[in-house]
C-alpha cells in the first residue's frame, strides 16, 4: 500500500520530533560522511571566498570597461557595476572538496552576452595567469563559461537585466526581476531563484543539508547521479529531499534518509514532486503545466522547480533510466528497513554499484578530436546527445531492451583527445509479449548518428564510433589501477522473494540479475530450442565489428572505487524467479552478421560509425 497523502498535500505527514536514537544515528551519519571526505576543509572554504571576491572585482572592472568603450559618459561609467550570485551545491551548503562553484553574473542592459560576455570578458580572463582551462559554451541551452581560477573550478552564467544600473540591493527572488528579459537570461537566473526558494521552504536547513549530502553521495556511488545521462542531478536531489523535509518537518537527518527511500519507493510516477503549487503570474512566461502543454504530459519522472517559471528538472529521464532509479530506491528502502530492524548498518547503503560487471553486453561510444579546443567542444556536444540514444532504443524496442548509461566518461590517457562512454544492456523480462521476435536497432544507431552529425561546429578530426562490447572486452583503463575486478553484486536490479531467494543461494548474484543473458540453458538442452532463445547483441569478427572505429587501449584508471560483495547486498538483490535454474551455464548467443557503416553529413567531414546489430528476444 502506498503512502496515504494528507488531506492538504502541503501538510506534513508527521510533526513528531526526533527520538534519542535518531539523534545518535544522525551523529554517526555525520561522522561517517566526514570520514569519507565529503566536507571541505576550512582552508578550502576560505580560498573559495577569496576567489569569489577576486572574481567580483574582475566582473565590475569588465562592466566599466565595456561601458566606457561604448561611449557612455563618465557618470554612467562610474555607476556601472555587475553583481555575482552563487547557486547549486555551494549555495545550498553541500559542496565537497574540489567541487565547482555555480556562479551567476548579473549585468546592465547595455552589456550583452554575445560580444561582451563571450568576447571582451573572455579575452580578459584569458590574459590572467590565475585562469586555466577557460572554455566558453555560448551555444548551450544555458550559455556558460567554464574555467579554473587559482585552482577553483567556476561555472559562470550571465543574465542581462532590463535596467541601466544594477541596484545595490538586488533581490532575484521577486518576479519583477524577470520583466523584459531574453530567454537565455531567464534561464540563467533560474538557478539562483530555485536555490533561494528551496532554502526558504525547508523547515530546518541543517537537517536538509545533511540529508541532501547523504543522498547525493548515495546516488554517485550507485551510478545514478547525472542529469545529462537521464538520472538524478544536484537540483533533482535537492527538490526530492526538500519534499521529504516538508513531510517530516521536525525530523533529523537519519530519519529523513530512511523516509526518503520509503516515500519515493512508493511514489506513483509520473505524479510530479512539487514543493509548492504552480500559479500563473502576470508576466505570462511559459511554465510546466501538463493541463495545457501536451509535451509536459510525456514526462516520466517530473520533479518541478519551486520558482517561477516552473520547470521540470528531470526531462532527460527515459524509460530505462527510470527503471534503474526505481530499483536503486527500492534497494535503499530495503537496506533502511534492515537498519531499523537492527540487522544491518547504514554503511551498506553506500556500497558502490559494479557497473562493468553488472551486464554482459555494452555499447561503447568513442569520441576523438585533433586538438584540445575541438575535443572539449565535441565532447560537450556528444554528452548532451547521449541521452537520445537511450530514449531511441527504448522507443524502437518497445521498452523491452533496458539501457543503463554510465554517468561518467572515461579518458584513455594512452591517446590524446579521446573519451569513451558506456551503456549497459539487459533485456526486460517482465511483461514481454513479443517473445521470439527480433529487435533490429540498426536504424536506431543510424538515427543517433545523424543526430550527432547535426553539430553546427563540426570540424575535421571530430569523430565518434559506436561498437558492441562484451563484458570481458571492456578496456582495462576504466578500472581502478587497470585491474579488472571479480564479479560482484549489483544489488538493485531485482527483488529477493520466495523461490527466487532460495534458488539464488546456488549461484552468484550476478547471474541472478543478468537480464540481457536471459535464462541459462541446461547443458543437455538443444542449441536450437526456441524456448531458450535470448536477447543479445552479436558481432562478427573483431576486425569487422570495429571497422573504422578506435580500438580501446589499456590506460590509466578514472574509476574511483573498489568492488566488493556484502551479505546484505545478497539479501537485497531483486530478481525474477524466471531467471534462475539449476542447470549448466552454456550461453545461447545466436550470431547475426553485423556490418560497419559510415555516414557523411552533407558539406561536413565524414563521421565514422561502426556499430549495427540485430537483437533477438527471449522466447
To the question of whether residue 101 is assigned a binding role by annotation, the answer is yes
Angle in degrees, 0-180, between the axes of helices 205-221 and 234-247, rounded to the nearest 10:
130
Q: Largest Cα–Cα distance in the chain?
A: 91
Which residue, among 300, 303, 266, has the nearest Cα to 288 in the 3D structure?
303
Where are any strands of DSSP class E within 262-333?
A: none
Q: What is the dihedral of CA 324, 328, 333, 334, to 10 degrees?
A: 110
To the question of whether residue 225 is assigned a binding role by annotation, the answer is yes
Paired with 427 in beta bridges are 401
To the question of whether residue 564 is assigned a binding role by annotation, the answer is no
Which residue, among 112, 57, 119, has the nearest Cα to 83 in the 3D structure?
57
To the question of whether residue 102 is assigned a binding role by annotation, the answer is yes
Please, are residues 223 and 407 in contact by the beta-carbon 8 Å criterion?
yes
In terms of phi and psi (left: phi > 0; alpha: psi -120 to 50; beta: otherwise), the region of 498 is left
How would DSSP label each residue in 572-610? H----GGG--SS--B----------EEEE-TTS-EEEE-
Burial (CB count within 10 angstroms: exposed 0-12, middle 13-18, buried 19+), residue 256: buried
How would DSSP label each residue in 443-499? HHHHHHHHHHTT-TT--TT-EEEEEEEEGGGS-GGGSGGG-PPPP----SSS---HH
Helices (H), 1-41: 20-35
Length of the chain counted residue by residue: 619
To the question of whether residue 100 is assigned a binding role by annotation, the answer is yes
What's the first-to-final CA gap in the chain, in angstroms?
33
How would DSSP label each residue in 116-161? IIIIIIHHHHHT-TTEEEEEEETTSSS-EEEEEETTEEEEEEEEE-
Tell how far CA 492 is from the center of its chain. Answer: 18
Please, are residues 359 and 428 in contact by the beta-carbon 8 Å criterion?
no
Please, are residues 58 and 5 in contact by the beta-carbon 8 Å criterion?
no
Q: What distance in Å separates the CA atoms of residue 402 and residue 518, rounded to the nearest whole number?
A: 13
Q: By 3-state DSSP, what share of the chain in percent is helix, strand and coil, each rounded to 5?
A: 40, 15, 45
> Which H or E element spans position 103?
strand 101-107
Q: What distance in Å separates the CA atoms of residue 510 and residue 477, rounded to the nearest whole number?
A: 22
Q: What residue numbers does the annotated binding site cover?
A: 87-89, 100-102, 155, 225
Residues in the annotated binding site for ATP:
87-89, 100-102, 155, 225
Binding residues for Mg(2+): 100, 102, 155
Amino acid at each position: 500500500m502506498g503512502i496515504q497523502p494528507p488531506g492538504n498535500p502541503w501538510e506534513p505527514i508527521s510533526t513528531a520530533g526526533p527520538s534519542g536514537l535518531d539523534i545518535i544515528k544522525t551523529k554517526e551519519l555525520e561522522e561517517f560522511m566526514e570520514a569519507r571526505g565529503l566536507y571541505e576543509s576550512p582552508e578550502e572554504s576560505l580560498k573559495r571566498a577569496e576567489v569569489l571576491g577576486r572574481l567580483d572585482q574582475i566582473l565590475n572592472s569588465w562592466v566599466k570597461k565595456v561601458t566606457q568603450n561604448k561611449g557612455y559618459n563618465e557618470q554612467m561609467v562610474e555607476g556601472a557595476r555587475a553583481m555575482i550570485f552563487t547557486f547549486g551545491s555551494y549555495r545550498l551548503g553541500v559542496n565537497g572538496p574540489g567541487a565547482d562553484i555555480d556562479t551567476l553574473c548579473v549585468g546592465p542592459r547595455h552589456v550583452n552576452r554575445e560580444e561582451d560576455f563571450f568576447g571582451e570578458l573572455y579575452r580578459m580572463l584569458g590574459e590572467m595567469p590565475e585562469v586555466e582551462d577557460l572554455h566558453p559554451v555560448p551555444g548551450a541551452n544555458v550559455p556558460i563559461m567554464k574555467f579554473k581560477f587559482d585552482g577553483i573550478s567556476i561555472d559562470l552564467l550571465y543574465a542581462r537585466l532590463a535596467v541601466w544600473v544594477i541596484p545595490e540591493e538586488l533581490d532575484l527572488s521577486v518576479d519583477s526581476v524577470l520583466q523584459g528579459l531574453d530567454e537565455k537570461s531567464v534561464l540563467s537566473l533560474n538557478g539562483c531563484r530555485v536555490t533561494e526558494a528551496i532554502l526558504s521552504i525547508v523547515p530546518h536547513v541543517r537537517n536538509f543539508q545533511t540529508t541532501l549530502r547523504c543522498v547525493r553521495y548515495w546516488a554517485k556511488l550507485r551510478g545514478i547521479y547525472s542529469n545529462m545521462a537521464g538520472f538524478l542531478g544536484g537540483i533533482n536531489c535537492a527538490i526530492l529531499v526538500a519534499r521529504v523535509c516538508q513531510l517530516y518537518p521536525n525530523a533529523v537527518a537519519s530519519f529523513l534518509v530512511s523516509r526518503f527511500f520509503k516515500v519515493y519507493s512508493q511514489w506513483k510516477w509520473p505524479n510530479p514532486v512539487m514543493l509548492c503549487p504552480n500559479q500563473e503570474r502576470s508576466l505570462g512566461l511559459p511554465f510546466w503545466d501538463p493541463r495545457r502543454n501536451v509535451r509536459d504530459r510525456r514526462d516520466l519522472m517530473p520533479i518541478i522547480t519551486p520558482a517561477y517559471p516552473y520547470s521540470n528538472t528531470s526531462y532527460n529521464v527515459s524509460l530505462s533510466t527510470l527503471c534503474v532509479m526505481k530499483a536503486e530506491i527500492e534497494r535503499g528502502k530495503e537496506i533502511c528497513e534492515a537498519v531499523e530492524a537492527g540487522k544491518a548498518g547504514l554503511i551498506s547503503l553506500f556500497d558502490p554499484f559494479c557497473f562493468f560487471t553488472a551486464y554482459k553486453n555494452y555499447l561503447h561510444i568513442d569520441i576523438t578530436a585533433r586538438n584540445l579546443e575541438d575535443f572539449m567542444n565535441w565532447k560537450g556536444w556528444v554528452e548532451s546527445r547521449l541521452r537520445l540514444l537511450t530514449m531511441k532504443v527504448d522507443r524502437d524496442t518497445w521498452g523491452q531492451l533496458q539501457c543503463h548509461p554510465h554517468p561518467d566518461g572515461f579518458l584513455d590517457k594512452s591517446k590524446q583527445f579521446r573519451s569513451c562512454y558506456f551503456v549497459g544492456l539487459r533485456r526486460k523480462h517482465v511483461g514481454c509479449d513479443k517473445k521470439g521476435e527480433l529487435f533490429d536497432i540498426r536504424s536506431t544507431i543510424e538515427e543517433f548518428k545523424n543526430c550527432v552529425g547535426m553539430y553546427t561546429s563540426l570540424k575535421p578530426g571530430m569523430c565518434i564510433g559506436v561498437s558492441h562490447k562484451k563484458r570481458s572486452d571492456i578496456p582495462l583503463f576504466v578500472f581502478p589501477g587497470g585491474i579488472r575486478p571479480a564479479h560482484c553484486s549489483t544489488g538493485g536490479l531485482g527483488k529477493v522473494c520466495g523461490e527466487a531467494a532460495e534458488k539464488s543461494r546456488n549461484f552468484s548474484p550476478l547471474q541472478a540479475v543478468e537480464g540481457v543473458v536471459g535464462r541459462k540453458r541446461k547443458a543437455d538442452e538443444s542449441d536450437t530450442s526456441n524456448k531458450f532463445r535470448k536477447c543479445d547483441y552479436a558481432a562478427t569478427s573483431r576486425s569487422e565489428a570495429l571497422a573504422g572505429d578506435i580500438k580501446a587501449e589499456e590506460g590509466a584508471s578514472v574509476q574511483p572505487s573498489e568492488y566488493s560483495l556484502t551479505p546484505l547486498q545478497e539479501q537485497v538483490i531483486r530478481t525474477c524467479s524466471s531467471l534462475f535454474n539449476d542447470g549448466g551455464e552454456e550461453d545461447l548467443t545466436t550470431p547475426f552478421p553485423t556490418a560497419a557503416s559510415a555516414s557523411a553529413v552533407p558539406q561536413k567531414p565524414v563521421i565514422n560509425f561502426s556499430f549495427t546489430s540485430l537483437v533477438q528476444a527471449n522466447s
